[in-house]
Amino acid sequence: MEIGSRLRDARRAADADLSDCEASTKIRAKYLMALEEEDFSILPEPVFVRGMLRTYAQWLGLDPAPLLEAYSERIGEPVRPAAGPPAPSVPSGRPRPTFVSLPRVDRRRARRRDGRLVAFVIGGLLVVAGLVWLGSRARDDDGMRQRTVPAAAGGPSVSTVPVVTGEGDGPAAAAPVLVIMGTSPAGAVVQVHRVDAEGPLVFKGTLTQGQRRRIVVRGPLWVHVAPGGTVAARLGGRGVRLPSGDAGAVVDVDGVRTS
């Protein structure tokens, strides 16, 4: 059997050129031409030639079995019996493209690679989540987040403003914390400024019974409780007295003194 003439005649009957065949079969045009001219000297090993010959024949709508037998006879190899029924021919019209089978991938190697990729992605997500959590904790400890504390039913809400610490301040845990708690259902109007009454505002609001406000004491604070209001206070874990009235009091790391 003439292998080359069968392939060439089928290609011409399909009105296809070698570039069309190359694009559809993924076989280089020079190898297709070598098959049609039966120039086996430029073709690779026989196992690859058989794959190309089978793919090309099926794409052209030919039965590859006789062509493979003719090729085996041509190179002096024994003809193997057909493993199954011949491949169905391609219906009339434009030939249906087929593709060369790729080598099988080592599944164990692929599973190990996928496992490492999943572990890497999970580790990266955990690192990002940890950094976000640490950043939020740092903002909370430094008093940089603005908060709104709900008041008792019918009472006003308690609003705060951010507290900006100066460069060189020590960690928040090293400074004492002033805790102010309302003790009257009617509420107590409380203002807290840095240094004195004209300093930056730290807190202003009404603390009703049970409401608390925590302020880190990194420097002098001027605390004013409006007349008639009552609060309880603790500085660094010990009880202190914040009087109400017009004068206000100064709170620092050493305690409370009236201004």
Q: Is 135 helix (H, G, I), strand (E, B) or coil?
A: helix
The reported pLDDT for the residue numbered 121 is 86
Which residues are registered as beta bridge partners of 190?
A: 205, 225
| Residue for token pair 């491949």 | 87
Give Cα separations from 10 to 62, 90, 99, 178 (angstroms). 8, 12, 18, 94
> What is the signed CA dihedral for 192, 196, 199, 204, rounded to 10 degrees?
20
| Separation of alpha carbons 85 and 96, rounded Å | 19
pTM beyond 0.75, yes or no: no
Element spanning 8, H or E = helix 3-13
Residue 103: pLDDT above 90? no
Q: 199-221 pLDDT, tens per residue?
A: 999 999 999 999 999 999 989 99
DSSP state, 172? G
Q: 169-202 pLDDT, tens per residue?
A: 444 457 899 999 999 898 999 999 999 988 999 9
Q: What is the tally of helices (H) and strands (E) in the chain?
A: 6, 11
On average, the pLDDT of the chain sits at 79
- Contact between residue 152 and residue 211 where contact means Cβ atoms under 8 Å apart: yes
- Contact between residue 218 and residue 175 where contact means Cβ atoms under 8 Å apart: yes
**Nearest to residue 163, comparing CAs of 141, 134, 186?**
141
- Contact between residue 180 and residue 223 where contact means Cβ atoms under 8 Å apart: yes
Q: 7-23 pLDDT, tens per residue?
A: 999 999 988 898 989 99
Which domains, ranges and CATH numbers included, belong to the chain? Answer: 3-74 (1.10.260.40), 151-161+173-258 (no CATH)
The reported pLDDT for the residue numbered 160 is 47
Q: Across the chain, which distance is largest between two alpha carbons, in Å?
A: 116
The reported pLDDT for the residue numbered 131 is 87
Q: 26-38 pLDDT, tens per residue?
A: 999 999 999 999 8
Considering only residues 149 and 98, tell me which one the structure prediction assigns the higher pLDDT.
98
147: left (phi > 0), else alpha (psi -120 to 50), else beta?
Answer: beta
